[in-house]
Amino acid sequence: MPISCLKNQLLMLLFLPVSLLAQKTDTLKLACLLNDAIEPVTEKPAVNLGSKELKLVLASATDTLVKSCADAVISTIQQDPDDGTWEILFQQKNYWFWLSGLTKVVVRKNQKIKTGDVLGHLEPGKKIELLLYDFETPIDPKKYMNCWK
């Protein structure tokens, strides 16, 4: 086999995994956590530190069921000692989802969940927050979830 062919094959082996990793998050599609979601208006911070907080905040005047946005496995469930709401951490491959603000949880640790499965309850008008990580890198969940038709 000519050296140029070997060189091309070696380059493909080196750069193909990198190109696949770069395209990975572009294929992530998430379902909305609430059926009748609104993104509440939040006050602007008094000081802009130049960093954008990558989170999705949702509320609903009518919904009480919070549903899974992806097929995943529940990793952690804990209650926030400050306000008594619940936080759920769940994982899909290298993606980590941190959902907080639930008033009641109906899933358990290590449970496999499907998109649309009920995770817990939310009081009407209250807010839930979703943080999304690609392994340890925060990414904007708004890019992958469309709750508004």
* Residue among 135, 120, 119 at smallest CA distance from 24: 135
The CA distance from 134 to 1, in Å, is: 40
Q: Supply the pLDDT for residue 125.
A: 86
What are the counts of helices (DSSP H) followed by strands (DSSP E) for the chain?
1, 10
Q: Supply the pLDDT for residue 15.
A: 47
Share in percent of the chain as helix, strand, coil (round to 5)? 20, 35, 45
Low-confidence ranges of the chain (pLDDT < 70): 1-26, 41-52, 148-149
Q: Supply the pLDDT for residue 12.
A: 52
The CA distance from 113 to 71, in Å, is: 6
Task: State the CATH architecture for 28-143.
Answer: Distorted Sandwich (2.70)
Task: Show me where the domains of the chain are located.
Answer: 28-143
